[in-house]
Amino acid sequence: MSAAQRSEERQRRASKGPRIERASKPGGDVWREHTADVLAALLRRTGDFGACEDAVQEALLAAAEQWPREGRPDDPKAWLVRVASRRLIDAQRSAAARERREEGESRSAAPLLEGSRAAVGDPGGLVDGSPVDDDTLRMAMLCAHPDLSDATRVALILRAVAGLTTAQVAACFLVPEATMAQRISRAKATIRASEAPFAPPTQEDAVARLHAVRHVVYLAFTAGHTSAAGDALVDVDLQREALRLAERLHRALPRDPETAGLLALLLIDHARSAARADAAGDLVPLDAQDRSLWDHDAIARGVRIVEDALVRGAVGPFQLQAAIAAVHGEAPTAADTDWEQVVVLYRMLLRIAPAPVVELNLAAAVGMAQGAAAGLVALEPLLEDPALARGHRVHAVHAHLLERAGRREEACAAYLLAASRTQSIPEQRYLNRRASESALP
């Protein structure tokens, strides 16, 4: 079987994804917790991403078959590494023998990686001088390869680091499972084909990759915070995985202010999850949430983390977003929210990280702090932005400000337009209900 045929076979198996699904039932938590560590351990032996992932899947299948009979080992990760290593060696020997028979020459590949530091490149003292000894971070840094697009980085980290199945990753992107399997396969091939794919990154490249990793973790959390489609408002599993990765990043780089800001932001946002939907699964807006359902301990921890980060070095986007979340999280009631402070923070964020979504949030905050008329003035140019107009959020904010301004008929039309632009069923129900309520005399 040629290298191309083996790649095609892996892609076919990945598109089906049955082995992880079957094995994850008795050991899903172990897979989620140790997937990056086990995969990184194998990558130290060979640079074949696909072969290593196949070996890890085989180890998980063996765990699913043996652990119920023999009991879970004291060190599940070590067990998985040992079994996966054997599977990898067996596969390499089989492949080498097959290729010798088929081509009459040895295709044994020398290991691409030497030692733990070379596994995915060592960020070393990339931020604060602390050595990074976390395989999860190393795997995330590899998946944040500069030759990949942002969307592909997200998909690969969710698959290889967070341990989501190909089907779960495909659902996040609203694409067929086979399409996502092909995308992930191409990403691995891109990494393998790049110049010195597993060499330690330069200082500049390491900083860029860390920034990409933080961005990917945030995107994953955002995807779980409000599911893009379907009946569920929140994808709790995806949120927890993103939060787990943020925790590990923070442990690896405890003095990096932006990593601390990311963790604080996710902690505070996740702390409000229980109040974001009612018993019927319908969306509950922030100002109407039962704040007794919030996890106030998590909010307090997030506030402490961001307050500590803000006094250490330059202030970055994640720190500012965490500070905004802290203002909401510390307000006893919606009426107690310090909207003027939120406006100041959004303006600071807009200066250092300009983006249409930041402008949109600023306009909404201005409407709350200075009145609906001022908010509508700030929002007006954003309604002409083609990218924003294709989505639902700008129309939902427009509708809310119109309703606050007493322009109920226009608000009804804007709510209906917003509802037509989202695939999330809970959001559709909420926006349609607001449209009906605003149409009432």
pLDDT in tens, 59-90: 777 777 777 777 888 888 888 878 777 777 77
pLDDT of residue 391: 86
CB 366 within 8 A of CB 397: no
Report pLDDT for 277.
86
Highest mean pLDDT among 147-151, 240-244, 405-409: 405-409
Average pLDDT over residues 291-312: 94
Which tokens hold the place of 257?
A: 């202010």
Beta-bridge mates of residue 283: 277
Q: What pLDDT, on the 0 to 100 scale, is given for residue 227?
A: 55
pLDDT score for 127: 43
pLDDT at residue number 27: 47
Cβ atoms of residues 163 and 37 within 8 Å:
no
Contacts of 179 (CB under 8 A, 6+ apart): 170
On whether the pTM is more than 0.95, the answer is: no
Asked if the model's pLDDT at residue 296 lies above 90, the reply is yes
Whether the predicted pLDDT of 104 surpasses 60: no
pLDDT for 126? 44
Question: Once rounded to an integer, what is the mean pLDDT over residues 168-194?
Answer: 80
Residue 326, pLDDT > 90, answer: yes
Q: Which two tokens stand for residue 109?
A: 């590949």
pLDDT over threshold 90, residue 266: yes
Q: What is the pLDDT of residue 86?
A: 77
| Cα 428 from chain centre | 24
- Phi, psi angles (nearest 5°) of residue 384: -95, -5
What is the distance in angstroms between the CA of the first residue and the CA of the last residue of the chain? 73
In angstroms, the Cα distances linking 115 to 46, 97, 112, 119 are 11, 27, 10, 7
pLDDT score of 428 = 92
Split at pLDDT 50, 70, 90, the class of 437 is very high
Neighbouring C-beta atoms of residue 379, cutoff 10 Å: 24
Average pLDDT of the chain, as a whole number: 77
> Once rounded to an integer, what is the mean pLDDT over residues 371-376?
97
The whole-angstrom separation of Cα 42 and Cα 30 is 17
**243, 373, 397, 409, 411 from 440: Cα distances, Å:** 42, 22, 20, 9, 11
Cβ 322 vs Cβ 257: under 8 Å? no
pLDDT grade, residue 232 (50/70/90)?
low
- Mean pLDDT of all residues in 287-294: 95
Residue 124 has pLDDT above 60, yes or no: no
* pLDDT: which is higher, 267 or 439: 267
403: its two tokens:
């309703």
What 3 state SS string does the chain have? CCHHHHHHHHHHHHHHCHHHHHHHHHHHHHHHHHHHHHHHHHHCCCCCHHHHHHHHHHHHHHHHHHHHHHCCCCCHHHHHHHHHHHHHHHHHHHHHHHHHHHHCCCCCCCCCCCCHHHCCCCCCCCCCCCCCCCHHHHHHHHHCCCCCCHHHHHHHHHHHCCCCCHHHHHHHHCCCHHHHHHHHHHHHHHHHHCCCCCCCCCHHHHHHHHHHHHHHHHHHHHHHHCCCEECCCCCHHHHHHHHHHHHHHHHHCCCCHHHHHHHHHHHHHHHCHHHCECCCCCECCHHHCCHHHCCHHHHHHHHHHHHHHHCCCCCCHHHHHHHHHHHHHHCCCHHHCCHHHHHHHHHHHHHHCCCHHHHHHHHHHHHHHHCHHHHHHHHHHHHHCHHHHHCCHHHHHHHHHHHHCCCHHHHHHHHHHHHHCCEEHHHHHHHHHHHHHHHCC
Report the share of the chain in percent with pLDDT over 70: 73
The pLDDT value given to residue 295: 96
Count other C-beta atoms under 10 Å from residue 45's C-beta.
Answer: 18
For residue 1, what pLDDT is reported? 43
Q: Please give the pLDDT value at position 271.
A: 95
Instruction: Using pLDDT thresholds of 50, 70 and 90, give the confidence band for residue 100.
Output: low
- Paired with 230 in beta bridges are 424
Q: Answer whether residue 247 shows pLDDT above 80.
A: yes
Q: Looking at residue 429, what is its pLDDT?
A: 92
Question: Can you give the C-alpha Rg of the chain in angstroms?
Answer: 24
The amino acid sitting at 244 is: R
Letter for the amino acid at 327?
V
Asked if residues 72 and 80 have their Cβ atoms less than 8 Å apart, the reply is no
Whole-angstrom Cα distance, residue 193 to residue 102?
A: 24
* Most distant pair of Cα atoms in the chain: their distance: 85
Residue 341, pLDDT > 70, answer yes
Selected residue with higher pLDDT from 63 and 420: 420
pLDDT at 334: 95
Q: What is the mean pLDDT of residues 216-227?
A: 75
pLDDT at res. 13:
45
- Among the ranges given (278-282, 376-380, 396-400), the one the predictor scored with the smallest mean pLDDT: 278-282
